Amino acid sequence: MVKMVMPLEDIKVIDMTRLAPGPFCTMILGDLGADVLRVEQPGGGRRAQQERAAGVSADERRWAAFNALGRNKRSVALDLKHPEAQRILQELAKGADVFLEGFRPGVVKRLACDYETLAAINPRLVYCSLSGYGQDGPYRDLVGHDINYIAVGGALGLMGSEDGTPAIPLNIIGDYAAGGMHAAVGIMAALMARGKTGRGQYVDISMTDGVLYLLAAAVSDYLARGAVPRPAQHRLNGAAPYYNVYRCKDGGYIAIGCNEPYFWDALCKAVGCPEFIPHQYTVERYPEIKRRFGEVFLTRTRDEWWDYLRSQGEVAVAKVYSLDEALEDPQMQARAMVVEAGRLDGEPVRQVGIGPRLSATPGHVRSPGPLPGQHTDAVLASLGYTPERVRALREQGVVG
| Single pTM value for the model | 0.94
Phi, psi of 300 (to 5 degrees): -140, 160
The stretch 21-45 carries a mean pLDDT of: 94
H-helix or E-strand spanning residue 350: strand 347-352
Band of residue 72 on the pLDDT scale cut at 50, 70, 90 = very high
Band of residue 56 on the pLDDT scale cut at 50, 70, 90 = very low
Identified catalytic residue from 145, 234, 279, 364: 145
Domains of the chain are 12-214+336-395 (3.40.50.10540), 243-247+253-319 (3.30.1540)
Q: Are 67 and 369 in contact (CB under 8 A)?
A: yes
Q: Is the pLDDT of residue 264 over 70?
A: yes
Q: Distance between CA 104 and CA 134 in Å, rounded?
A: 9
- How large a percentage of the chain has pLDDT more than 70? 96
Residues in the chain: 400
The stretch 19-35 carries a mean pLDDT of: 97
Q: What is the pLDDT of residues 84-93, one digit of tens each?
A: 999 999 999 9
Whether 182 sits among the annotated catalytic residues: the reply is: no
Q: Distance between CA 312 and CA 162 in Å, rounded?
A: 31
Q: Is the pLDDT of residue 368 over 60?
A: yes
Band of residue 338 on the pLDDT scale cut at 50, 70, 90 = very high
Q: Are 37 and 12 in contact (CB under 8 A)?
A: yes
User: Which segment of 89-103, 152-166, 324-338 scores lowest on mean pLDDT?
Assistant: 152-166
Q: Distance between CA 248 and CA 269 in Å, rounded?
A: 18
Q: What is the pLDDT of residues 212-255, one digit of tens each?
A: 999 999 999 999 999 898 999 899 999 999 999 999 999 999 99
Q: What is the mean pLDDT of the chain?
A: 94
User: Which segment of 159-163, 213-217, 293-297, 370-374 scores lowest on mean pLDDT?
Assistant: 159-163
Q: What is the pLDDT of residues 268-284, one digit of tens each?
A: 999 999 999 999 999 99
DSSP 3-state of 68: helix
* Angle at 192 (CA atoms; ends 186, 197), nearest 5 degrees: 115
Closest CA to 183 of 119, 106, 100, 115: 100
Closest CA to 146 of 175, 170, 169: 175
Identified catalytic residue from 79, 175, 209, 265: 175
Q: What is the pLDDT of residues 165-205, one digit of tens each?
A: 899 999 999 999 999 999 999 999 999 999 999 999 999 99
The stretch 46-54 carries a mean pLDDT of: 57
Whether 145 sits among the annotated catalytic residues: the reply is: yes
Q: What is the pLDDT of residues 109-167, one digit of tens each?
A: 999 999 999 999 999 999 999 999 999 999 999 999 999 999 999 999 999 988 888 99
Q: Are 400 and 376 in contact (CB under 8 A)?
A: yes
Q: Distance between CA 115 and CA 117 in Å, rounded?
A: 5
CA distances from 133 to 17, 144, 154, 211, 299 (A): 16, 9, 13, 11, 48
340 residue type, one letter: E
Q: Distance between CA 366 and CA 30 in Å, rounded?
A: 9
Q: What is the pLDDT of residues 73-84, one digit of tens each?
A: 999 999 999 999
Q: Distance between CA 28 and CA 37 in Å, rounded?
A: 13
Question: 256 pairs with which residues across the strands?
Answer: 244, 317
